[in-house]
Amino acid sequence: MLVAGATLSLLAPMTAQASDIVNIEEMNSYSRSKKKKSPKFDSKTFTNDISDVANIKGGNNGLDVQQNIFEAGTFSDTTVMGGVAVMWVGAIDGADEITGNATDEGTSTGYTYKWDLNTSFTGDDNLYVRLKTGEQGDVWKNKYFYHIETKDNSDLLEVDKMWYTFPVGEKITAFVGPRIENYYMYITPSIYKPGALKSFKLGGNSNFGASTDVGLGIKYELDNGFGFATGVVDKEADEDEGFFSPDSPLKWDTQLAYTADRWHVSGTLSTARNWTAHDYNATALGRQVARDSNGLALRAYWMPEEYGTNIPDISFGYDTKSYGGVFTAGNTTEATSYFVGFTWKDMIQADDRIGFAFTQPLAATEVQGGGATGEVDPQVWELYYSFRPNDSMEITPAIFGGNDIAADEEDDIFGMLLTTKFKF
């Protein structure tokens, strides 16, 4: 770990951390907006670029041929395109005890690269497509310490997300798509933004889980702050047996929420079948796989009137989960989790963040037949500082750790991480 620390300090200028261009909060604000955004790229942009290059080189050297292939209309002027490149380097002391791989304690790197395209056809709707690729050391895709930006597809640029949102009346937003995650259809449940691990996402990523699949849903938000959202995703809807087939893994979430100017409370009821995507914040016993499961996620957050003071944003989460039907792994029938996160903004310079979060991962509280659960006392935390050298770059050094995070008292970790993002 001493070597890892030295390596981190030396490699600081070349590391990078990315934030989602399209996240829950931004999708919510888009659905409420009636203004059309100015496109970053359109047909005229491409035409002018080709013309400028041709003029520099001389005009008859082959660079001006077939310039009309970029004629107006071939790239919609209502499409906004943005990109993000993320790189990180870090190490985790104790990772080998959990993974069983002796090399997982070494310093390793990772990266992702993505393009986000948003297209509106009416001014109120949105077609979202994300292309993404990435690669990293194996330790960063283990769900006990899954990096917040991990993408492992061996450098293949592929369609990572795709869905369409459109208004139904004045207050309802509908979602439908072949590659959508369940939580993009929620009313924003948490404002804590993780600096290192995905387990801290959404106010504790245990009951919510994550799965990019075929899905649909609606979100209904009133002017008085009350809101309702419901959506379903099916892991095998694009396979032979089709949507809602008897054995396909699926998850249906229904959320009730109240959101004021500076605070929010919500409860989300989740009904799932053969669902395994809650593993980002759970112990070995908490990662129960069963025919049927039901979960309740309570979330709340509060923001101060002004930033730059010692008063932080506060996010809170509490989850319960029950399992039933046919058990395919373990014998846990009940499990719980909790989370608290603090964010101080604009403390040293504009747009910086100091974040600290603590969670008890989803842990067994009851097993079949009663008696002792044999569960550990898991705890995971992270601390980070995020700052912007310029408007398009963000650097985030972080430390994180945990006790008894998997299956026994030897499963303790401590990690250091340096992540930077480039937005363009």
pTM for this structure?
0.81
Digit-coded pLDDT (tens) for 325-372: 877 767 899 999 999 999 999 999 999 999 999 999 999 999 988 889
Mean pLDDT of 192-208: 92
Helix, strand or coil, per DSSP, at residue 239:
coil
Digit-coded pLDDT (tens) for 31-56: 444 443 434 444 333 333 433 333 33
Question: H-helix or E-strand containing 158?
Answer: strand 158-168
Mean pLDDT of 411-424: 97
Instruction: State how far the alpha carbon of 237 is from the alpha carbons of 245, 246, 272, 291, in Å.
Output: 8, 11, 15, 17
Tell me the C-alpha distance between 261 and 252, whole Å: 28
Q: Residue 48's pLDDT is what?
A: 37
Helix, strand or coil, per DSSP, at residue 22:
coil
Band (279; pLDDT cuts 50, 70, 90): confident
For the record, the structure tokens of 191 come out as 């404002």
Over 60: is that where the pLDDT of 28 sits?
no
Over 60: is that where the pLDDT of 8 sits?
no
Over 50: is that where the pLDDT of 184 sits?
yes
Where exactly are the structural domains of the chain? 2-42+77-423
62: which residues sit within 8 A by CB, 6+ positions away? none
Tell me the C-alpha distance between 361 and 368, whole Å: 20
Tell me the C-alpha distance between 333 and 295, whole Å: 12
Are the C-beta atoms of 86 and 109 separated by less than 8 Å?
no
Are the C-beta atoms of 337 and 361 separated by less than 8 Å?
yes
Residue 355, amino acid: G
Virtual torsion, Cα 323, 327, 331, 333, nearest 10 deg? 10
Helix, strand or coil, per DSSP, at residue 406:
coil
Band (75; pLDDT cuts 50, 70, 90): low
Are the C-beta atoms of 421 and 16 separated by less than 8 Å?
yes
Digit-coded pLDDT (tens) for 211-233: 788 999 999 999 999 999 999 99
Q: Residue 118's pLDDT is what?
A: 96
Question: How would you label 136-164 residue by residue, b for 16+ Cβ within 10 Å and e otherwise?
Answer: bbebbbbbbbbbbbbbeeeeeeeebbbbb
380: which residues sit within 8 A by CB, 6+ positions away? 197, 199, 281, 358, 359, 360, 361, 400, 401, 402, 405
31: which residues sit within 8 A by CB, 6+ positions away? 126, 165, 167, 173, 219
What percent of the chain stands above pLDDT 90?
A: 65
Q: ∠ CA(337), CA(338), CA(343), 5° rounding?
A: 145
Mean pLDDT of 149-169: 92
Q: Residue 275's pLDDT is what?
A: 78
- Phi-psi map region of 66: left, alpha, beta (phi>0 left; psi -120 to 50 alpha): left
Tell me the C-alpha distance between 423 and 18, whole Å: 8
Over 90: is that where the pLDDT of 276 sits?
no
Over 60: is that where the pLDDT of 115 sits?
yes
2-42+77-423 is classed in which CATH architecture? Beta Barrel (2.40)
Mean per-residue pLDDT over the chain, rounded: 83
Over 60: is that where the pLDDT of 3 sits?
no
Nearest C-alpha neighbor of 117 from the set 81, 166, 161, 78: 81
